[in-house]
Structure 1
Amino acid sequence: MRLLLLAIALLLSAAPLRAADLRIDAVRSKAEFSVRLLWVTTVTGSFKAIRGDLATDTAAGTAVVTADIDTESIEMESARLRRWVLAPEFFDAENHPRIHFVSKPTPLPVLTRGGDVAGDLTIRGITQPVTFKLQGNRCRAEAMAGCVLQLQGMIDRTDFGMLGRRGALSDRVNLGLAIVIEAI
């Protein structure tokens, strides 16, 4: 019996852990978007409610980022624009209250030196593959708590069913995330 317990203890200590050991600091993180309006001005918005985690797999040398954004948390320069982007023709916040992103397993060195982070983005209940560019930072992959991960990308809004005002509003939408990582 003692040998069996010792064997189980050794197996458990050698098993690679894949756990959400870090999370997104919901207070200090934000997500932003911008889209051209009438090719003259840019409409921008900033989401204040973002949450998620960073799960690392040291055995595989990868990390997976999962993020959820509450669409109702958007702040914009005018109440009229805010009502419009939350309406059915854009985010349709009533029926789709969150935006969801989950990355593919990303090599740990990319978290510090920067590079491509591929994953799946869900907006309005439609999931599409996307690739964000992660900026390099001075953090070590094994000590990410306190680090800021800055990601930039572009989507085509029509891929997510946002078909309204195509003559006045660009189909290309810039997305940016500033994710502050904290220990759980």
Structure 2
Amino acid sequence: MIRRIALASALALVTAPVFAATYTLDPGHTQVVFSWNHFGYSNPSGQFGKVSGTLDFDAAAPTKAKVEVNIDVGSINTNVPALDDHLKKADFFDVEKYPQATFKSTKVEAGADAHHLKVTGDLSLHGVTKPVVLDVTINKVGPHPMSKKPSAGFDAHATIKRSEWGIGGYVPNISDDINLRITVESSVKAEAAK
């Protein structure tokens, strides 16, 4: 009986899918959403519509993960066109001068359990680079039911002070604290998945 269990365990390990790979973010299922407080009355939100990047991830060794993300700041969308135009100007993001934001991980640590990580990385925004810690939830890792490609999905959140990146217009009436909520779906490219 013990031999059968040992053999079954060994076979399971040999035939289990390996998901150590470089994943590419799916822009259609990746969102970077930010929210703020407006004069104490409301908590609006917006998002960046153009996000790209890669993730090196091994489900068996998640703390060895590396992530690089590029954000087209000009793709900002709050569903209020006049506000989008204002946010792109020098009062806030100054998109003409700083069209891109990037995040590059520098350290990944285990979280509260096997489904959580703390990812530290450098956020470059508005000409300033500072560290940010993301609280990450591993949603799912496995073959995608539609594409059949190895895929991985994550949620992350953090709170940053925008003034630390030189975007301090109208603080404190418009909150310095910005809540970030990120959801990511990523897959291994077809040629890499073979």
What TM bracket, shorter-length normalisation?
0.7 to 0.9
Residue number among 156, 161, 174 corresponding to 2:161 in the alignment: 156
Displacement after TM superposition at 1:20 (Å):
7.0
Structure 2 CA distance, aligned partners of 1:60 and 1:149?
A: 12
Structure 1 CA distance, aligned partners of 2:107 and 2:134?
A: 13
Cross-structure match for 1:9: none
Cross-structure match for 1:84: 86
Deviations 1:64-111 (A, max 9, x none): 011011011111121111111111111111111111101124258999
Helix, strand or coil: the match of 1:80? helix
Helix, strand or coil: the match of 1:91? coil
Unpaired segments ≥5 residues, structure 1? 1-18
Contact 1:111 1:136 in 2 (8 A): no
Q: 1:113 to 1:87 in 2, by over 3 A?
A: same
Confirm whether residue 147 of structure 1 aligns to residue 152 of structure 2: yes
Unpaired segments ≥5 residues, structure 2? 1-19, 143-148, 190-194
Displacement after TM superposition at 1:30 (Å):
1.2
User: Comparing 173-182 with 111-120, which one deviates more in the overlay?
Assistant: 111-120
Contact 1:35 1:169 in 2 (8 A): yes
Q: TM-score, normalised by structure 1?
A: 0.79
Q: TM-score, normalised by structure 2?
A: 0.75
* Runs of 4+ residues deviating >6 angstroms: 57-60, 108-111
Q: 1:123 to 1:79 in 2, by over 3 A?
A: same
Contact 1:63 1:108 in 2 (8 A): no
Q: How many residues align?
A: 163
Aligned sequence identity (%)? 26
